[in-house]
């Protein structure tokens, strides 16, 4: 944190901005690829939510977390309307808005299973249009290059080329259902104002999810390596999975192990706290993140129930991370949206070990734990195209 500016990592820049805007001077999302001017977007295709990142024209970073929920938009006869996305002519509520209206979850699974679901496409393009609007781009037609983070288990060494890359099944699904796709999205805000976006996914850069966190932690915004660590164990507590991934750069290696379910186990326990509410797991995940739940027409503070769930189930999740702390060979980097819920418990457990913060391990601050993979994915794309 005290390093000179050019020795600061991307993550240091995020933390250093405090509560103000995060600005990377001289950078923007405008890139050229295949001779075509495009906008770069980082997308972490999480089971519980899409996390997206891009830069505005002034270098300001914009991120979004969009729960993977969708519902047909309905007419609200009176009162405050909801923001609606019309994707390919179909009016929809997506993300948090859909959760407020009993929206459906998109089933968790491998990338190849998820991207074929037309609802995934609808959420994806609606989220992209929202991100561009928030980042200050004027409505219109845009070519996008999407730096797409997929589960670590979907990146493997190709035996013919002896190179790491996205596995064939995932790559084929992305080529068929993401790359080259065009969508017309109309955004109708709560006041009824309409904007239209025509979005073309010109190209897709595939990569492992944890590579995003590794890049954000180890590289400066100019791409300089700012950590003297050659081997890192990234422990990612995501919505669907809890994974640990060993990343080394000399030689290039990426070894992933799924060590259990992610915060979905907390969501299921939370669901059991409200047996009559028929909460979807995604709605439960959202309640865990926000501390609030709508029940019988009232917005209720559910902090107490969350604490009970964390006390019972959270320790199980923490327990699975302890082997990572016992090993001495690698620096340990804890990340993932689960850190938002379990950061304090994890700190307590680490404090009982001999591990030193900054020297032996780092915990991604909760404010950035959910979106950091997408931020790193965005920079991996920028690094490759300039």
Partner 1 sequence: MTKSQSRSPKSIRITEEQQQLLDRLLLQFPDVTSESDLIYRAFVEGLYVLAARATVPGRGVLHGGLSTAEVAGHVERMLVELLPFVVAHGTLLPRILAQLQELGLTGKDATSSAALDAPPAFEQDAQRDADGLGAEFL
Q: What does the binding site for partner 1 look like in residue numbers (CB under 8 A)?
A: 26-27, 30, 32-37, 138-142, 147, 155, 163-166, 171, 174-175, 179-182, 184, 196, 198, 203-208, 211, 214-215, 219-220, 222-225, 247, 249, 252, 254, 379-380, 382-384, 386
Please count the other Cβ atoms lying within 10 Å of the Cβ belonging to residue 351.
Answer: 9
Q: How far is the CB of 22 from partner 1 (least distance, A)?
A: 17
Q: How far is the CB of 207 from partner 1 (least distance, A)?
A: 4
Distance CA 342, CA 208 (A): 23
Compare residues 242 and 380 and give the one whose CB is closer to partner 1. 380
Compare residues 309 and 377 and give the one whose CB is closer to partner 1. 377
The pair of structure tokens assigned to 106 is 């998109």
Q: How far is the CB of 310 from partner 1 (least distance, A)?
A: 33
Compare residues 35 and 297 and give the one whose CB is closer to partner 1. 35
Compare residues 195 and 316 and give the one whose CB is closer to partner 1. 195
Please count the other Cβ atoms lying within 10 Å of the Cβ belonging to residue 37.
Answer: 11
Is residue 220 within 8 A of residue 229, CB to CB? The reply is no
Q: How far is the CB of 90 from partner 1 (least distance, A)?
A: 15
Provide the 3-class DSSP secondary structure of residue 234. Answer: strand
Distance CA 378, CA 373 (A): 9
Q: How far is the CB of 216 from partner 1 (least distance, A)?
A: 12
Compare residues 186 and 286 and give the one whose CB is closer to partner 1. 186
Contacts of 212 (CB under 8 A, 6+ apart): 42, 44, 149, 372, 373, 374, 375, 376, 377, 380
Is residue 344 within 8 A of residue 312, CB to CB? The reply is no
Provide the 3-class DSSP secondary structure of residue 126. Answer: helix
Q: How far is the CB of 224 from partner 1 (least distance, A)?
A: 5
Q: How far is the CB of 226 from partner 1 (least distance, A)?
A: 10
Q: How far is the CB of 116 from partner 1 (least distance, A)?
A: 15
Is residue 246 within 8 A of residue 254, CB to CB? The reply is yes
Compare residues 225 and 307 and give the one whose CB is closer to partner 1. 225
Distance CA 93, CA 103 (A): 8
102: left (phi over 0), alpha (psi -120 to 50) or beta: left
Helix (H) or strand (E) holding 283: helix 281-290
The alpha carbon torsion through 372, 375, 379, 381 (nearest 10 deg) reads 110
Q: How far is the CB of 173 from partner 1 (least distance, A)?
A: 10
Compare residues 158 and 344 and give the one whose CB is closer to partner 1. 158
Compare residues 272 and 386 and give the one whose CB is closer to partner 1. 386
Q: How far is the CB of 29 from partner 1 (least distance, A)?
A: 11
Compare residues 69 and 254 and give the one whose CB is closer to partner 1. 254
Complete edge-to-edge strand list for the sheet that includes strand 231-237: 252-261, 241-249, 231-237, 331-335, 361-363
Question: DSSP letters along 156-192, please?
Answer: EEETTTTEEEE-HHHHHHHHHHTTT-EEEEEEE-TT-
Burial of 329 (0-12, 13-18, 19+ CB in 10 A): exposed
Compare residues 196 and 303 and give the one whose CB is closer to partner 1. 196
């Amino acid at each position: 944190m005290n390093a000179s500016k050019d020795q600061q990592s991307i993550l240091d820049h995020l933390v250093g901005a405090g509560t103000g805007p995060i600005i990377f001077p001289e950078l923007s999302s405008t890139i050229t690829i295949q001779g075509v001017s495009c906008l770069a977007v980082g997308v972490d295709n999480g089971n519980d939510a899409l996390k997206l990142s891009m830069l505005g024209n002034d270098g300001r970073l914009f991120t979004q977390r969009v729960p993977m929920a969708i519902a047909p938009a309905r007419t609200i006869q009176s009162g405050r309307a909801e923001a609606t996305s019309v994707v390919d002519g179909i009016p929809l509520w997506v993300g948090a808005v859909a959760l407020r209206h009993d929206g459906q979850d998109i089933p968790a699974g491998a990338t190849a299973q998820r991207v074929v679901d037309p609802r995934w496409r609808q959420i994806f393009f609606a989220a992209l249009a929202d991100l561009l609007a928030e980042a200050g781009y004027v409505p219109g037609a845009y070519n996008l290059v999407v730096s797409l983070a997929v589960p670590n288990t979907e990146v493997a060494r190709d035996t013919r080329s002896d190179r790491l890359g996205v596995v064939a099944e995932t790559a084929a699904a992305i080529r068929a259902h993401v790359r080259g796709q065009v969508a017309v999205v109309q955004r109708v805000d709560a006041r009824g104002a309409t904007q239209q976006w025509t979005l073309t996914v010109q190209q897709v850069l595939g990569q492992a999810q944890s590579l995003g966190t590794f890049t954000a932690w180890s590289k400066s915004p100019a791409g300089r390596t700012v950590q003297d660590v050659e081997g890192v164990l990234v422990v990612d507590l995501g919505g669907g999975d809890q994974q640990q991934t060993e990343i080394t750069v000399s030689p290039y290696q990426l070894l992933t192990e799924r060590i259990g379910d992610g915060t979905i186990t907390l969501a299921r326990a939370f669901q059991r706290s409200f047996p009559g509410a028929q909460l979807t797991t995604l709605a439960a995940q959202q309640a865990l993140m926000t501390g609030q739940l709508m029940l019988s027409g009232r917005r209720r503070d559910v902090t107490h129930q969350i604490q009970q769930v964390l006390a019972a189930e959270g320790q199980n999740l923490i327990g699975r991370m302890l082997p990572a702390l016992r090993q001495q060979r690698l620096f340990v980097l804890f990340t993932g949206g689960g850190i938002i819920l379990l950061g304090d418990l994890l700190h307590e457990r680490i404090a009982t070990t001999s591990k030193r913060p900054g020297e032996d391990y780092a915990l991604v601050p909760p404010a950035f734990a959910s979106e950091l993979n997408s931020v790193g994915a965005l920079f991996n794309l920028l690094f490759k195209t300039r």
